[in-house]
Chain A
Amino acid sequence: MKQLTLLIFLFFSGVCLSRAAGPDFNSDVLPILSNNCFQCHGPDAKARKAELRLDLREGATRDLGGYRAVSPGKPEESEIISRILSDDSEEIMPPPKVKKQLTASEKEILRQWVASGAEYREHWAFVAPAQAEIPVSPAGRVVKNPIDRFVLARLKNHNLKPSSEATRSTLIRRVSFSLTGLPPTLEESDRFLADNAPGAYDRMVNRYLDSPAYGEHMARHWLDLARYADSNGYQYDTERQQWVWRDWVIDAYNRNKPFDEFTIEQLAGDLLPQASEQQRLATGFNRNHGITIEGGIIDEEYRTEYVMDRVVTTSQVWLAMTMGCARCHDHKYDAISQKEFYQVFHFFNQVPERGANGFAPKQRLASPLAATRKQELENELKRLKEELNKPRNLDALLEKWTSQIAGQPGGGWQILSPKTMDSTGGSTLRKLDDNSILAGGTNPPKDIYEITAGTASGKLTAVRLEALTHETLPGGGPGRHSNSNFVLSEFELTAASARNPSLRKVVKFVKAKADYSQANYEVSKAIDGTVDNPNGWAVDGPTRKKPATAIFIAKAPFGYEGGTLLRFRLRHEGNFGAHGVGRPRLSVTDDPAGSLRLQGIPADIRLIAARNPRDRTSQQAGKLKEYFLKHHNPDRMIKERIATLEKQQTASFPETMIMQDMARPRATHILHRGQYNERGEKVSAGVPAIFPAMRKNHNTRLGFAQWLMDPTHPLTARVAVNRYWQQLFGTGLVKTAEDFGIQGELPSHPALLDWLALEFIRSGWDTKHMYRLILNSATYRQTANVGKAAYRSDPENRLLARGPRMRLDAEEIRDSLLASSGLLVRQLGGKSVYPYQPKGLWMELNNRPGYSKAYPQGKGDDLYRRSLYTFWKRTVPSPMLKTFDAPEREFCTTRRSKTNTPLQALVMLNGTQFVEAARHLAQRMLIEGGETLNERITYGFRLVNARVPGQPELALLRDAYTENLQHYQSNGQAALQLLQVGDSPFNNALNQAKLAAMTSVARLLFNLNESITKG
């Protein structure tokens, strides 16, 4: 054991004592020089001290006037060796003020290196990968493909054995999460477990590769790199519509768009010859950076930041280079000069954009997942606009409309002419010409208006109350209170027979609707039989001085043959004194309740329409035409329809940001200290000299993208496959997946990395092929159940002696509970949604009027979509996702941290989404799970963890059920409360105590460490 630990230590510390030829430059020497010396003696010319450059051999071995910093083979004559060994604080290197110290073993390595000839070698990552010989596989080892032979060779060097293959149930869960981010369904598990024919594993892998969920899952990883968000970041963090681009990514993965096309379209799709809409949409990638709208900012300062972000992101994603370090000065470690940084900057500096509110250029482009719908909308709009331009015969249309309404059943709203009007509080009620009643005089704290009216109709269905405004009312509003509001605490009606007034009945209303109600003062509160406070209909009079209309629908038609007398009571009796309705007008109708509208065609218009045209007086004809033109003008209706569709189009097919180059190129200058306003030398486009040259006459953004994808490029393929590896194993072959430069870590398996990179190129940049290849390896298929010692000796599994095992990502955790509970809504793409989150989070950070809004929590399906559709607000990310290490997406993120904290426990124990999903899982367990408790628990366990629980586990879960059942049987209220967590209704057919008890079991299942772990 001790020996093993030592071996691993040696492997990772990079010290190779066995090599007679001296230490290896790249693995042993360079990290020491880079970490301790290059800051002052490296590529940065301005920072260079004593004109000594140690990153190049000719610099290090240069004659410095009778002595050399490095004298190959002669450490005793090498200044650097005497300086690092010095104990004089004036002499010693690194100097004390830089606060870096070499260890004894580092000093020894440098000494040995000089003694052995001080060989320099090019940094591995800047040399194109070469086809290495695939190692011979050791006898008796399972080898599925060349990956395993590379891994086994390394294991053999360390006297380690690979682990056996994981169980089938582990494998399908691992593969399912790896490729789709979701747990396997029971059907998928059963199918795989029952497939005993050869190739079962490959078939299973292919099924997941073909699943639309694959594209969603892969896109989700890409979104971190692309710093995708649904908000603009910075101070006000307003909404943006880049989800259309996000849909492009999902679609591209599902189509398995080759990585070269995937790259070129995202970086420069707009510059491709005859660029398609989708190719332009792809370029949204480099518009995902934050954009500020803060007042008073300086435009150019922020425009410069946006371009910087593009350079930094692009170089990190495709080159794993920290180009940003060369923004202010030459790179301290990698040989990238400040000038070269601005040469690359030039490619991305051509967008016709601004710093403040810099959202242009934008274009209305369809999500590839919704192209058909967009086309349909466009066609319909085109048709309507043509229709609008057609000449029309209005008189003919009027006649047609007239005959239509004349033939319709029902008389519309009949405005009542009040007979008597009384106020119990002493207000003056006066009838106006339009049959409305204007209140005036004293304004008593409590008041009831009693109004009578008659109608010839005998089969009424509903009453309408218009609360009109009037100039004599306070503020010209609809209410009597000085704040213009009213609170109608109750609205009552008694109907009596006109023939025999002793025949009477109180009319019961079952439904009320209004065109406007104040929050918590809904119109239904005016017919709920109580005047308790706060209880009644109000209309935000203080801020909204407008009329409002309510209709009250009777439980059953009412009235009497031969005419009906109506006696209304408008009660104002809440605690809010003096809140009378200012100018009520009452109407009734006999239209069927289902067809009622707040504003129907007035009864007098209907009466005119019903007459024979020849019998209409000219006054009546005029009134009819006036009404028709005001309310039913076809132009107006078409315009309204166009407005509706355009609104729909804006919402579903918004303008989204894309890349574009200006017609006249913007000049790019070196910016001193990276400051937007400190311009230096003008530069032209280009790439750093440490990389292969670009093709001549291709120095555009498109040329840059094509240069990245050149098969001879040393970085692009390696960087991409390394990220695939990181995604599947938790750590990349190069651990610093974002930095392949000199300060990055060396690959654990260099030959394997190169082989994979070349295979990727050979396959035509076939991403699915690469996933299939790695997933098919015996390396990936190893078990992770290997015992404590193995975890302790290689915590990050860098030697790959076991299968991958890691905590699920934030999105996978939420998605998996939605999936296993059956709540998951599998809709692909579309506008981002707002699932549950604790109240008040947005407003507590920003409540500035006009710049803020409360979190608009969604309803129904929107609560159960996959997490990559959750609205990503940069300044207030989803607290659930954030707790599980989701980044803020302010910038490109290559690796997420994976922490393990008590806050995570709290989310999983108490979050609404978790508790509600547990109830749904419990419902499935009770309904689908079988008859016995064991069967039901096993069913739920399999849904979550894709395996059958062991007996001890089953026993514990059974106890949990029994104990909770007792608890909830004697605490019915608690059971009901638990079942009501979340928006979805609970299944009423189930016994509440049982469902609550099973919900508790399901909560346990979701909280298992296993449930949030893959592997």
Chain B
Amino acid sequence: MHDLFLESRLIENRRQFFGRSTTGIGVAALSSLLGGNLARGEKTGKGGRIGGLEGIPHFAPKAKRVIYLLQSGAPSQVDLLDHKPSLEKLHMQQLPGDIRDGQRLTGMTAGQKSFPMIKSPWKFRQHGQSGTWISDLLPHMAEVVDDICVVRSMHTEAINHDPAVTFFQSGHQQPGRPSIGSWLSYGLGSEAENLPSFVVLLSKNTFHQAQPLYDRLWGSGFLPSRYQGVKFRSQGDPVLYLNDPAGGSSKKRLAMLDRLARLNRIREQEIGDPEITSRIAQYEMAYRMQASVPELADISDEPESTFKLYGEEAKVPGSHAANCLLARRLAERGVRFIQLFHRGWDHHSNVQRYLPTLAKETDQGSAALIADLKRRDMLDETLVIWGGEFGRTVYAQGNPNSFGRDHHPRCFSIWMAGGGIKPGITYGQTDDYCYNVAKDPVHVHDFHATILHCLGIDHERLTHRFQGRDYRLTDVHGKVVRGILS
């Protein structure tokens, strides 16, 4: 229970510091966590936005926020989204050399002598009014095809997981650059009152050969570290160090923070350093997060219909479905960039055994998220993305009977939906071999430019000076993919 008297005194303290500020408690703290620095005289922008760069957005945004369901390990496009009837005839034939055309292979199949093409063992059907082709492995996604845009012509340069996922996350294959989410926090600031603007959710990993993840994938690179993603965890404290220590009564917490504020204020008056003011505000914000985060993670207020939609799995913390539901709850609370990482798509052998498991783990939650956002009228302002770091080869890795598929950078499929994206379309085309892009290629840099565009940002003008150079997410490349914009 909150002590109302003390709470009012905390507010009183704040008023004394922030003077005429009317933007609500914790604004300075937020500004410091997520954007600018009130104490140094930066202003809050329009619409209660905290932090962010002046002049951004550059134009009216279609999307206010992003939910990015990153499928780490690289899902097989030819078995999920890229329907290839041509493979019926080509099945078990060798991939022609002129199609591979000197493409470098990973060390895993570079020594392989034979490259037999393998058609998808699963059936594809057309769904919805749009007639979008979807594999039978994704029955739930099949129901929302009219709301999504399938992009079949993605391509990248990286052929291994670390550089490829680093590229997707930061626009560069080597570590060290800021992640997309941190760029957005930096540029756009936050609209969440009591939550960070960039939240990361990790699905529990069930596939034993899954690729590792790394903190830097949601790191801030050379941007100040306050822009890095904050991990919401399904085990232990939902945010690291959120819970009071054992025996450190929460009843006493408010009294403690009140005293702390008063002690800090004594010094603030003696010294005059505005950092002290800011520090006081951080503790207020921390206090509010201690309430807002558990409230966010507590799904007991969700009606049964929610679990019908997302599946019973959504009650298991850390499952893909539970994280999709959390993503929706975060979106409702104004979090700018929500990124879910699901691992286990790296099927170098036995695609037939592993792929259905992964598809099942992710299908219902992803589809439910689209449907849920839509029925809440949030889909048109939320950009939802699903995809991995590259694709998989049409040819078999290893024995064709228990075939695997190796990494494939030259073509792969993702889907996007919601804010700014044309629904019910399939964009781009691959060749008959599902090896090269045949029409409308979309490079990773183009993908980034398009995301920023949906958020009202000209990707060439969101820059940060570091080591003498104005860096941007899209490096010196990137073209907005107009064909998929609504």
Contacts and interface: CB of A to CB of B under 8 A. Distances in A.
A736 B467 CA distance: 8
A211 interface: no
A791 B272 CA distance: 7
A882 B208 CA distance: 29
B214 A876 contact: yes
Given A292-B162, A1004-B256, A785 B279 contact: no
Contacts of B248: 910, 915, 978, 1000, 1003
B101 to A, nearest CB: 15
A890 interface: yes
Contacts of B262: 956
B246 A978 contact: yes
Interface in A937-959: 950, 952-953, 956-957, 959
A981 B468 CA distance: 47
Interface string A36-56: 000000000000000000000
Given A333-B468, A876-B214, A900-B279, A906 B235 contact: no
B245 A847 contact: no
Interface in B202-238: 202, 205, 208-216, 219, 224-226, 230, 233, 235-237
A886 to B, nearest CB: 8
Interface centre among A237, A792, A902, A964 (most CB of B within 10 A): A902
B259 interface: yes
A849 to B, nearest CB: 6
A852 interface: yes
A909 to B, nearest CB: 7
B124 to A, nearest CB: 29
Contacts of A885: 224-225
Interface centre among A356, A901, A967 (most CB of B within 10 A): A901
Contacts of B286: 902-903, 905-906, 909
A324 B467 CA distance: 10
Contacts of B32: 899-901
B216 to A, nearest CB: 6
Nearest to A785: B271
A897 B224 contact: yes
Interface centre among A874, A906, A959, A971 (most CB of B within 10 A): A906
A906 B212 contact: no
A905 B259 contact: no
A884 to B, nearest CB: 9
Given A875-B212, A906-B289, A967-B249, A838 B236 contact: yes
B486 interface: no
Contact of B260 (A297, A915, A1004): A1004
A890 B176 contact: yes
A753 B300 CA distance: 63
Interface in B102-143: 104, 106-108
A332 B471 CA distance: 13
Interface in A355-379: 356
A856 interface: no
Contact of B266 (A325, A807, A844, A952): A952
A845 B211 CA distance: 9
A877 B224 CA distance: 16
A888 B216 contact: yes
Nearest to B194: A902
A915 B245 contact: yes
Given A899-B224, A903-B230, A741 B239 contact: no
A743 interface: yes
Contact of B274 (A788, A974, A977): A788
B458 A296 contact: no
A739 interface: yes
B275 interface: yes
Interface string A59-88: 000000000000000000000000000000
Interface string A763-787: 0000000000000000000001111
Contact of A910 (B209, B243, B267): B243
Contacts of B252: 963-964, 967, 1000
A845 B175 contact: no
Contacts, number: 261
A916 B430 CA distance: 60
B462 to A, nearest CB: 11
B285 interface: yes
Interface string B40-52: 1100000000000
Contacts of B235: 839-840, 844
A958 B56 CA distance: 49
A883 to B, nearest CB: 8
B320 to A, nearest CB: 15
A743 B247 contact: no
Interface residues of B, number: 83
B469 interface: yes
B275 A1009 contact: yes
Given A888-B215, A905-B286, A322 B468 contact: yes
Contacts of B267: 1008-1010
Contacts of A316: 467
A1008 B41 contact: no
A571 to B, nearest CB: 36
Contacts of B90: none
A456 to B, nearest CB: 55
B160 interface: yes
Given A739-B468, A1009-B264, A971 B249 contact: yes
A526 B345 CA distance: 45
B359 interface: no
A356 B162 CA distance: 13
Given A296-B107, A1008-B264, A882 B247 contact: no
Nearest to B108: A296
Given A792-B41, A845-B215, A875-B212, A900 B247 contact: no
Contacts of A531: none
Given A792-B274, A847-B205, 16 more contacts: A324-B467, A736-B467, A743-B467, A840-B233, A840-B235, A875-B212, A877-B215, A890-B216, A906-B240, A910-B241, A959-B259, A977-B247, A978-B245, A978-B246, A1000-B252, A1008-B263
9 contacts: A99-B460, A294-B161, A900-B37, A903-B286, A906-B242, A906-B290, A971-B249, A1007-B283, A1008-B264
Interface of A: 99, 233-237, 290, 292, 294-298, 305, 316, 322, 324-325, 332-334, 356, 736, 738-739, 741-744, 784-792, 795, 805, 807, 838-840, 844-849, 851-852, 874-877, 879, 882-883, 885, 888, 890-891, 897, 899-907, 909-912, 915, 950, 952-953, 956-957, 959-960, 963-964, 967, 971, 973-981, 996, 1000, 1003-1004, 1007-1010, 1013
Interface of B: 29, 32-33, 37, 40-41, 104, 106-108, 159-162, 174-176, 202, 205, 208-216, 219, 224-226, 230, 233, 235-237, 239-249, 251-252, 255-256, 259-260, 262-264, 266-267, 270-276, 278-280, 282-283, 285-286, 289-290, 407, 458, 460-461, 465, 467-469
